[in-house]
Amino acid sequence: MDIFRQVSITTAPRPLEKVKPNGRIMNQVQKPMKKPIDWKWLLVSFCFLVLFHLVPSSLASGLKLFFSSRSWDTFALFGVGGIAAISGYIGYRSSGKAILEPGIAALLYIVLLRLIVVRTGSSAEYVGRIPTWLVILPIAYLIGCAGAMVGAWFYRRRQKNNAADLPA
């Protein structure tokens, strides 16, 4: 059995087939395309995290008090929720295209927080340790990506419901 088939002049190749110079069609395996990072959504995600998470947090309680050991657990809970919510919004607004970008922005945001904690001289001993921050970074990345996936899911669900509501 021949894996190639003859093509007549009137027959057009199917979308995933490649025509060889001798007139035979060869099935082409479609390779998954690597998605490059969309820098626009990365910058928007990072700016949203700083603008809608860090600035209100520091204005609400004062920067030094906010990063003190007494409120660190509250900040961690608020941080997870804020990163997830902002990443979800970015995933929704990007039509489900930006999934990795909010995760990377969350990672950069945690690095920024690390620099702020070091500069303010937080009294929490464990906050400044490197191993703790090395554990927090992948968690922040995963929270950012998961929030963006949830936002993309909401976007697709909304599109599906809108398509179902259209008259036939």
pLDDT of residue 8: 47
Looking up tokens 């039509």 gives: 95
Q: Report the length, in residues, of the chain.
A: 168
Q: Decide if pLDDT at 99 tops 50.
A: yes
- Banded pLDDT at 11 (limits 50, 70, 90): low
DSSP summary character for residue 14? P
Average pLDDT for the chain = 75
- Give the type of residue at 56: P
How many other CB atoms are found less than 10 A from the CB of residue 73? Answer: 10
**Residue 71 near residue 61, CB atoms below 8 Å:** yes
User: What is the mean pLDDT of the segment spanning 53-72?
Assistant: 65
User: What is the mean pLDDT of the segment spanning 1-17?
Assistant: 50
* Residue 69 token pair: 């050991």
CA distance 143 to 81: 9
